[in-house]
Amino acid sequence: MERLQHLLISLYLLILSINLTTITAQSPAPAPAPPGPTNVIKILKKAGHFKTFIRLLKSTQLDSNLNSQLGNTNNGLTILAPSDSAFSALKTGTLRTLTDQEKVELMQFHIVPMFISSSQFDTVSSPLKTHAGSGARFQLNVTASGNSLNISTGLTNTTISDTVYTDTHLAIYQVDKVLLPLDIFTPKPPPPAPAPAPKLKEESESPDDAVSKKDISSAKKPRNHVIGTACPGFGPRS
């Protein structure tokens, strides 16, 4: 009897163990943790040759703005990142001559407020609008020629040489020259010269002034003196 009870208990434990194993095997795996927010600076640091571009993004405080925009907009961003060699090719002192506001605009000129995949450059219309603005003095033209993507600013001509990073919301492309906008790197036209002051009209003469001038003119004319001649018969008698 006891032996039968042991067999029944063992059988029950075996069945329970099999059921637990089946339930565990069928339970879905836990979902992966959601990815953290995209960090532009981390992506550029990982690429390894954008130190100057990173420094300028930080000094102009655009780095935090970029990450914030990526989390708050559905349009995405496209960044045209010049390599360190591109900055080294600039004329010595170029960046030092810029004001703080011009440095901000220079960095903004490399940021397009929409996501553009490499295949979409064939269909986008130029000039592209950047964070710096649009118009003739901030023109950024992109044209596809075969497998090349050419960029022109009116001062700079270069190509997109590499894709640094891309997802469905952010694209970062490497360019081998710093994109120089016309608005910053061409002389501004001089301000127009001030208009000459209007000449004052001469005051009209009053009748009294005219009379006074006439009297002065008359006074300056020499007077004619009549000298009498001696008449015969009136001289001294001898």
Q: What is the pLDDT of residue 233?
A: 47
SS3 string, the chain, reads CHHHHHHHHHHHHHHHHHHHHHHHHHCCCCCCCCCCCCCHHHHHHHHCCCHHHHHHHHHCCHHHHHHHHHHHCCCCEEEEEECHHHHHCCCCCCCCCCCHHHHHHHHHCCEECCCCCHHHHHCCCCCCCECCECCHHHCCEEEEECCEEEEECCCCEEEEEEEEEECCCEEEEEECCCCCCHHHHCCCCCCCCCCCCCCCCCCCCCHHHHHHHHHHHHHHCCCCCCCCCCCCCCCCCC
Range with the poorest average pLDDT among 87-96, 135-144, 190-199, 210-219:
210-219
Residue 34 lies in a domain: no
177: containing domain: 40-185
Residue 131 lies in a domain: yes
Residue 101 lies in a domain: yes
Residue 214 lies in a domain: no
Q: Tell me how crowded residue 222 is: count the other CB atoms within 10 A of its CB.
A: 5
Q: What is the pLDDT of residue 207?
A: 55
* Mean pLDDT calculated for residue range 93-99: 94
Q: What is the pLDDT of residue 232?
A: 47
Number of domains in the chain: 1
At residue 171, does pLDDT exceed 70?
yes
Residue 11 lies in a domain: no
Q: What is the pTM of this model?
A: 0.66
Domain at 94, CATH number: 2.30.180.10
Residue 178 lies in a domain: yes
What is the band of 134 on the pLDDT scale with cuts at 50, 70, 90?
Answer: confident
Structure-derived torsion over alpha carbons of residues 11, 15, 17, 18, reported in degrees to the nearest 10: 140
pLDDT digits (tens, 9 = 90+) for 2-28: 665 665 566 666 666 666 555 455 555
At residue 125, does pLDDT exceed 70?
yes
CB-CB contact of 41 with 53 (8 Å): no
From 113, 127, 104, select the one nearest 184 (Cα to Cα). Answer: 104
Residue 210 lies in a domain: no
Compare 237 and 88 and report the one with higher pLDDT. Answer: 88
- Contacts for 63-71: CB closer than 8 Å, 24+ residues apart: 66/40, 66/111, 67/37, 67/38, 67/39, 67/40, 69/113, 70/37, 70/38, 70/40, 70/169, 70/170, 71/37
Q: How far apart are CA 121 and CA 73, in angstroms?
A: 21
Q: Give me the residue label for tokens 């496209």.
A: 78
At residue 68, does pLDDT exceed 80?
yes
* Mean pLDDT calculated for residue range 128-152: 88
Residue 230 lies in a domain: no
